[in-house]
């Protein structure tokens, strides 16, 4: 059950976070959708993720697969720079709909900041899930460690440590059992 004082966040995920969650434990996507807010993924981003199977598998996990606006696709196709076509689509979709962009990609994050798009790291999403009583601390820790193991290049020991500190702080403060 979500806390009544928490506003539900609408989010769009990029491929890197979706891949991490699918590899570590795809059921966490369902928990995030239920306790934190609706998770969206753009259809072309979904196609970048090999382990999904089909769109129906994501939908069954509570993930909403959306098509980008045609204008955004045309603009994204014309842009170049430090981020991919799919990353431009995530950014433009987030901006158009007021979504939070869920990404661990530093280049995409930089452009989102420049464009005024709300951001969250993948593990921050898991911390919010824990804070919303959607996952037990042991499960959150194990999930984060599986992501680190599967993606050590982007999820460093330092990032894992910051995540663990955040959820431990909530427990030691007495706010969460």
On the 0-12 / 13-18 / 19+ scale of CB atoms within 10 A, 150 is: middle
Classify the C-alpha dihedral 16-120-132-7 as positive or negative.
negative
Residue 107 in contact with residue 87, Cβ under 8 Å?
Answer: yes
Q: Which CATH architecture has domain 11-122?
A: 3-Layer(aba) Sandwich (3.40)
Task: Give the pLDDT score at 168.
Answer: 87
**Consecutive sets of 10 residues in the chain, 177 residues long: mean pLDDT of each?**
58 95 96 96 91 90 95 90 92 96 95 96 95 95 96 91 89 60
Domain boundaries, the chain: 11-122, 123-172
* Residue 102 to residue 20: CA distance in whole angstroms: 12
Tell me what pLDDT residue 48 has. 87
**Dist CA 163 CA 143 (whole Å):** 11
- Residue 3's pLDDT is what? 45
Residue 46 contacts by C-beta under 8 Å, 6 or more apart in sequence? 18, 52, 55, 58, 65
Sequence-distant (6+) residues with CB within 8 A of 94 are 12, 100, 101, 112, 117, 118
């Amino acid at each position: 059950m979500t806390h009544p004082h928490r506003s539900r966040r609408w989010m769009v995920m990029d491929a890197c976070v979706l891949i991490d969650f699918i590899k570590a434990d795809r059921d966490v996507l369902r928990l995030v959708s239920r306790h934190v807010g609706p998770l969206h993924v753009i259809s072309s981003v979904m196609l970048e993720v090999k382990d999904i199977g089909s769109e129906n598998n994501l939908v069954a996990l509570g993930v909403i697969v959306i098509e980008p606006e045609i204008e955004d696709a045309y603009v994204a196709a014309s842009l170049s720079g430090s981020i991919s076509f799919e990353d431009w689509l995530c950014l433009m979709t987030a901006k158009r709909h007021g979504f939070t962009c869920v990404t661990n990609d530093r280049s995409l994050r930089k452009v989102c900041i420049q464009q005024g798009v709300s951001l969250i790291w993948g593990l921050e999403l898991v911390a919010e899930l824990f804070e919303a009583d959607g996952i037990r601390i042991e499960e959150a820790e194990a999930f984060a460690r599986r992501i680190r193991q599967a993606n050590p290049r982007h999820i460093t020991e330092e990032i894992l440590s910051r995540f663990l500190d955040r959820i431990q702080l909530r427990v030691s403060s007495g706010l969460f059992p």
